[in-house]
Structure 1
Amino acid sequence: MTVLCGMALGALPLSSFARAPVSRELVAVGTHNVGIFERRPNGEFSGLGVELVRLLAHRHGYQARFEIYPWRRAMEVVSGGKADILVGAYKSVERQRILRFGEQAFLQDELAFYVRADSMPVWDGDYSLLKGRRVAVINGWLYGQAFDKALPQLRASVTNSVENGLQMLAHGHVELFATNRRDTDPVLAALGLQDRLMALAPLIDVQDGYFAYPLSSRLRDVPAHFDQLLVEMKRNGALQKLARRYGVTIP
């Protein structure tokens, strides 16, 4: 267990772990999600979402296992009951038809259009100004109701990663790239494109992220147990401390 996990555990009452049942496997999946769900070169998983799953597993006697997929595939794995937890999902009516969402959000993201610094379209939140523009979006991501309503007016191209979206923008294949700032700014810096590409104001939307579960889960108590854990950690400040260490904003 990492030092971060140990610090968060120390912020919770010891009585919370007093009668843990026999260990069972708890499978959590997600996509590469900066500060939330990441796999290191040595194969170890890290991030706020990962640490929270480990805390839950420790409290209730589960053996946590992590798997990483492209985002749409990760949703399918959980909605199909092949995994127990989807880490960091935005909530929508459509997604609630195939997934059960927790009540407690544990992250908050700003979504924005990224553009080339030498070619900035006029954008003040009015999608009619972007009609016909070439826009890259990430497969399976949620951008909010206003964006979804405007999407038919845009010339959308789908990509599977933030890096690909930024490269498409940098090479002029699209005029805008819709993404979230937490995932995108570190990649932008790593690619050395921070002087060429920039986020455009105002934001597309602000979205809260949740843990989500199969509609018919084999572990029926996990959603309620996770909500209880998050309520406790918000109340005693442990979630805020852990989030700061990973550079994550919480609601």
Structure 2
Amino acid sequence: MKSPVRAAARSSAVRALAALLLAVPACAAVAAERLVVGAAFSRVFEQAPNGEWTGLGVDIVRALAARAGDTVRFQLYPWPRAQAMVAQGQADILVGAYKSPERAARFAFLDHPFYRDRMVFFARAGAGAAVWAGDYGALKQVPIAAVRGWHYGENFDQARSGLQLSEVPRLENGARMLLLGRVALLAANERNLQPVLAQLNIVGRVAEQGPALSVQDGYLAFPRQPRHQPAQRRYNQLFTEMLERGELGRMARKHLVQVP
């Protein structure tokens, strides 16, 4: 028969060990360097000429990673490649993706977005009568530029096959095509387009036209592979807590980014 004293001591030791394990942060077991990827999105995910990373998405990821006990490494890629890397589990976090049914099948999005954009058509200023008033059927003979890999909303996707659409690798390409008259409309958002117009020295020569195509919210997204699920759940919890404390609004005001 076991000694009651010895059994009690062993039980006490087990309870102490359990309490110690519970006291260790959950992130300690999965702490890692996270590869964070995206395309250059103005005020959301950018790298300055001196190499410094800036933007609302950068600040959020850094804050979440610090609280999770992780380190982060940022990389810029063409937007389709950045999406493919995360979908295939070659990178850990995708910054700034709008949600769509197709993307929801490829990525594990956080529950809450961190910024909002209006997707609109832009035309040359003074180009004449507006060609876009909300009816995609009226655009069948109108050449349009759109950025490859961008999501413009479900209505745009449904109309896509009937449009004269030129997909460009970068927004700069689309802006140049618009100014040269190779397309009549450019699908974009003002947040990303304005710095491009300034860079090309054509501010004032392009104007928004007609109603918005859609309103899109941007998210952080993770791979869907099982090995990435603990990190996605942890960051989801931490980001929800960030929202509850009002931290997102303060960060967004710093970067002049609209939030949902």
**Letter of the 1:243 counterpart:** A
1:87 aligned residue? 95
Distance 1:81 1:48 in 2: 24
Q: Is the 8 A contact 2:44 2:58 kept in 1?
A: yes
Q: 1:9: which partner in 2?
A: none
Provide the rounded CA distance (Å) in 1 between the counterparts of 2:121 and 2:187.
5
Select which of 116, 141, 166 maps to 1:132. Answer: 141
Are 1:137 and 1:159, in contact at CA under 8 Å, matched by a contact in 2?
Answer: yes
Q: Deviations over 1:77-126 (max 9, x none)?
A: 10111111101101111112221111111111110101011225332211
Partner of 1:166: 175
Displacement after TM superposition at 1:194 (Å):
2.1
| CA distance in 2: counterparts of 1:168 and 1:223, whole angstroms | 40
CA, structure 1 residues 117+75, in 2 after alignment: closer, same or farther (shift >3 Å)? same
Match of 2:211 in 1: 202
Cα deviation, residue 204, structure 1: 0.8
**Structure 2 runs not aligned, ≥5 long:** 1-23
Give 1:118's aligned residue. Answer: 126
Report the CA distance between 1:188 and its aligned residue.
1.5
SS in 2 for 1:219: helix
User: Is 1:74 equivalent to 2:92 in the alignment?
Assistant: no
Letter in 1 for 2:46: E
The amino acid across from 1:131 in the alignment is K
Q: Which amino acid aligns with 2:189?
A: N
- Residue 256 of structure 2 corresponds to 247
| Identical positions, percent | 42
Which of the numbers 65, 68, 91 marks the counterpart of 2:73?
65
Q: Tell me which stretches of 4 or more aligned residues in structure 1 moved more than 6 Å.
A: none
1:105 to 113, 133, 146: 113
1:213 alignment partner in structure 2: 222
| Cα shift at 1:217 | 4.7
Task: Name 2:189's counterpart in structure 1.
Answer: 180
CA RMSD of superposed structures (Å): 1.6
Number of the residue aligned with 2:32: 24
Aligned with residue 43 of structure 1, among 48, 51, 60:
51
Distance 1:114 1:34 in 2: 18
CA separation in 2, counterparts of 1:213 and 1:89? 10
Give 1:152's match in structure 2, choosing from 137, 153, 161: 161
Contact 2:141–2:164 (CA under 8 A) maintained in structure 1: yes
Once the two structures are TM-superposed, the CA of residue 68 in structure 1 deviates from its matched residue by 0.8
Q: What is the letter of the counterpart of residue 57 of structure 1?
A: A
Q: Which has the higher helix share?
A: 2
Amino acid corresponding to residue 135 of structure 1 in structure 2: I
SS where residue 229 of structure 2 aligns? Answer: coil
What amino acid does structure 2 have at the position aligned with 1:227? N
SS of residue in 2 equivalent to 1:123: coil
Looking at structure 2, the residues matched to 141 and 70 of structure 1 have their Cα atoms a distance apart, in angstroms, of 11
**Offset from partner CA, 1:35-69 (integer Å, 9 cap, x none):** 11101112221111111111111111111111110
Match of 1:8 in 2: none
**8 Å Cα contact 1:81-1:217 kept in structure 2:** no
| Structure 2 SS opposite 1:21 | helix
Task: Name the larger-Rg structure.
Answer: 2
Normalised to the residue count of structure 1, the TM-score between the two structures is 0.88
Distance in 2, matches of 1:65 and 1:195, equals 37
Higher mean Cα deviation, 152-161 or 26-35? 152-161
1:233 Cα deviation from its structure 2 partner: 2.2
Aligned length: 234
The alpha carbon displacement at 1:72 in A equals: 0.3
TM-score (norm. length: structure 2): 0.85
How far, CA to CA, are the matches of 2:246 and 2:110 in structure 1? 20
